[in-house]
Amino acid sequence: MSEVSDLLSGLIKLDTTNPPGNETIAAEYLKAYLEAAGLECELIARAPERANLIARIRGTGDGPSLLLLGHTDVVLADPKEWQVPPFSGEVRDGEVWGRGALDMKCQVAANAVAIASLAREGFRPSGDLIFAATADEENGVGFGLEWLCEEHPDAVRADFCVNEGAGDRLRFGDDAYYLCSSAEKKSSPFTIRALGRSGHASMPGIADNALVKAAKLIERIAAFTPEPQIQQEVAAFLRTVLGEVPAAASALDRARELDPVAADLVEPLLAATFSPTMITASRKRNVIPAVVEVTVDCRLLPGQTTEHVEPMIRAVLGGDLEYEIEWLESKGGTRSPLDTPLWEAVESFVSEIEPGARAVPICVAGFTDSHWLRDAFGTVAYGFFPLRTMAAEVAASLIHSANERIPVADLELGLDWIRHAARTVCA
């Protein structure tokens, strides 16, 4: 077995299901491995069982610093659904199996082997090369990177960061592309509270049924598609795959002509999206509700604010029904520029591993820890861990699902990428 698959297999065996997390067992396992390579390590924990691990090779000058970021917690796995026990770390037919194999103990293991091997080789970066294995990404209640950025900023501050988020290889026609995430949408859910007047359900005429009003409001918000716009990630994506940036109104059709997968990628990135997902109404069958709450999952484009979209939402809901809007939270929505040395490193790596293939930026709909670094320090953070052997749709179906696994070949490819990034960005 190779060093990186061996390390990953050991990491998967440590059950860090969050909640409760228990990431300290993973932090200590990695600390022992990294200290053997001569690296300075520090455990930083808000609670003893939820430790984060930071290691670094100090820079010799004031060159740019690079943070190799990964979270050590994983989501729940139900053994009944799996072909192998989810915390076995078994290597079978050239693949490492277990919870976290893709999300994202693979990258944590590759980061560790990359920095350890560079340390053993006597690599002297000009800026700091930093390794961080953090807790609590999957549940996000304040033990991981968000807390580190606030309470221990010097431990994680960096000019550049490689994190999770993308790396899938796609084929459109004869051409191959590797996705690299450089931005994420902002999750801004809200409640529409339809207002009426309660009454006995046997006499509907005396009441004003908020549930019936809510039905109309749900239809209106669900049918709402804001005017499309092309932001920088979509522009760069379309320029690479189509050779030009079409007008916003025809962007989706042009992507679909190329490949339905390209259209699926582009569609949620052209505008904010609105998906009603939850409703609460009367608690009793015979009582007409005065208030009905509809929760809408809303994802804004990077840079958009709730103040900016609320007037559009009100215009769509109309003035004929009584309702209130309450925003619940706002999380994410940051981006990094694309004209950076880290982007050049992604591009040069892609052309090295597959001549003719291109790197393309993508804005992801989900949230990652990259947000905290961009927000706190203006770090240029990308999500990139290339998968060449495993098909993108197979990987997507395994993340947070049963039988999660990664080909050893992709693990070693990822290790090569991390070493390449370190050498190029902070040499």
Of residues 103, 128, 146, 168, which one binds Zn ion by CB under 5 A? 103
Q: How far is the CB of 234 from Zn ion (least distance, A)?
A: 24
Given the complex with Zn ion, which of 23 and 164 has the nearer CB atom?
164
Stretch that binds Zn ion, among 100-108, 177-185, 194-202, 289-297 (CB under 5 A): 100-108
Nearest to 106 by CA among 366, 398, 370: 398
CA neighbor of 255 nearest in space, from 235, 275, 274, 273 = 235
Cβ proximity to Zn ion, 110 vs 251, nearer residue: 110
Which residue number places its CB atom closest to Zn ion?
Answer: 103
d(CA 3, CA 209): 65
Does residue 184 belong to the site contacting Zn ion (CB under 5 A)? no
The interface with Zn ion within residues 221-260 (CB under 5 A) comprises none
Shortest Cβ distance from residue 404 to Zn ion (Å)? Answer: 11
Q: Which is nearer to Zn ion, 117 or 139 (CB)?
A: 139
Nearer to Zn ion, 1 or 399 (CB): 399
Q: Which of residues 159-178 bind Zn ion (CB under 5 A)?
A: 164
Closest C-alpha among 174, 137, 161 to residue 50: 137
d(CA 17, CA 41): 24
Chain Cα centroid distance, residue 114: 22
Residue selected from 41, 51, 104, 162 as contacting Zn ion according to rule CB under 5 A: 104
Residue 56 sits at φ, ψ, to 5 deg, of -155, 155
Report in angstroms how near the CB of residue 103 gets to Zn ion at its nearest: 4
Between 128 and 369, name the residue whose CB sits nearer to Zn ion: 369
Q: Which region holds residue 303: left if phi is over 0, alpha if psi is between -120 and 50, else beta?
A: left
In the range 2-41, which residues lie near Zn ion by CB under 5 A? none
Cβ-proximal residues to 278 (8 Å cutoff; 6+ apart), any chain = 294, 295
345, two tokens: 């490193």
Q: How far is the CB of 134 from Zn ion (least distance, A)?
A: 11
Place of tokens 């800026």: 127
Cβ-based nearer residue to Zn ion, 104 or 408: 104
Q: How far is CA 170 from CA 101, 173, 180, 213, in A?
A: 21, 10, 12, 44
Joined together, the tokens standing for residue 181 give: 């995430």
Q: How far is the CB of 411 from Zn ion (least distance, A)?
A: 16
Q: Which of 66, 76, 234 is nearest to 161 (CA)?
A: 66
Please say which residue, 103 or 128, places its beta carbon nearer to Zn ion: 103
User: Which residues here bind Zn ion, judged by CB under 5 A?
Assistant: 103-104, 164
